[in-house]
Amino acid sequence: MSLPRKNRIDLDDVEAALERWGDTVYRLAVCRLRNRADAQDAFQDVFLALVRTRPAFSSREHQKAWLLRTCCNCCNDIARKRMRHAAEALDDLDVIDPAAEHVSDPALTRALEALTDRQRTAVHLRYFEGYSAEEIARITGEKPATVRSHLFRARNTLKIKLTSGEELPCMSENSNTATTSCKRA
């Protein structure tokens, strides 16, 4: 069933989304691009896309997922442009310096630098946003198995041992295990 499209953008909705999810989008952009200027560009591209495309959302979580997906796409576009202009841009990059005072955990920041963009994105969506591999796959446009592979390799690189104590590589594909709780036996 198609519904009549709104004639005007409801700026209240869009600006509320910016307030609600602005930091969320910005963090993902920083995580993905490791460069503040590029992250700011991606941030603006995402919310402009929200104004222009007027997607329909069934919930705030749906809206958040859309924004994160769009953020990934915008970051990919920016990364491609960066590749094309790599030679001229290298000196000007506002690269985030893990040794800078404002970075609260330089060691961890340095460790994260060892990950690929996609691994870092998967780690961010998993450990900060709390998404499952399947949900991350929806956001990044990859296969869930690919996301699991990113997470597996990232954990390996970061030397993360899963909290359950189980062997890392074989635990990683079961995102459903040990994550649920119930109120009674």
Partner 1 sequence: MHEREFEHRYHQLQKSITASDDLKSATRMLMREAAASPAPDASAHASEGAREKQPAPRRMKRAGLAVAACVIALLLAFGTLPAVLSGNSPAEPQFAVKAYADALDEVIEPNDAGLVVFPYDTKIGFQDTSAEGTEEGTYTGALFTVEGESITRVQATLSEGELYRYSFDRFTLGDEPEKARELLSWKPTKRGTGTYYADYDYVISAAVDDDLSHADPDKQMQARLIKRLGPTVDLAVSDSEPLYLGLWLDEASAGAGGMFDVSALEGATLTVTAQFDDGTFQTQTIDLHVGWFACERAAFDEGSAADLVPVGEPLDEAVLSEGADACRTLYGITSGIANTPHPYPLDTANEHAGAPVDALPLESVLSYRGTLEPADYTAGDGQVRAAGEHVDIALAESLSGAGEAQPLEVGLISAETLSTLPASYDLRASTQVAGMGGDLDYFNVCRRVTHGFTVGEDGSLSEEFSYVVVRLDVTNASGEATSIVAQDLGAPCALGPQGVTFSSCGLFAASGWEGCEGDNTWQTIPLPAHETRSLELVYIVDDKLFEAGELALSCPAGGLEQDLAQVQFLKMR
Within 95-114, which residues bind partner 1 (CB under 8 A)? 102-105, 107-109, 111, 114
Looking at beta carbons only, is 5 or 80 nearer to partner 1?
5
The phi and psi torsions of 112 (rounded to 5 degrees) equal: -65, -25
Q: How many residues does the chain have?
A: 185
Closer to partner 1 by Cβ: residue 118 or 124: 124
Tokens 């915008």 belong to which residue? 74
State the binding string over 130-159 for partner 1 (x if CB under 8 A, else -): xxx-xx-xx----xxx--xx--x--x-xxx
Which of 121, 114, 109, 9 minimizes the C-alpha distance to 75? 121
Tokens 């402009």 appear where? 48
Residue 19: both structure tokens together? 């307030």
Q: Which of 89, 93, 95, 166 binds partner 1 (CB under 8 A)?
A: 166
CA 136 distance to own-chain centroid? 8
Restricted to residues 28-57, the positions that interact with partner 1 (CB under 8 A) are 30, 40, 43-44, 47-57
- Residue 90 vs 134, nearer CB to partner 1: 134
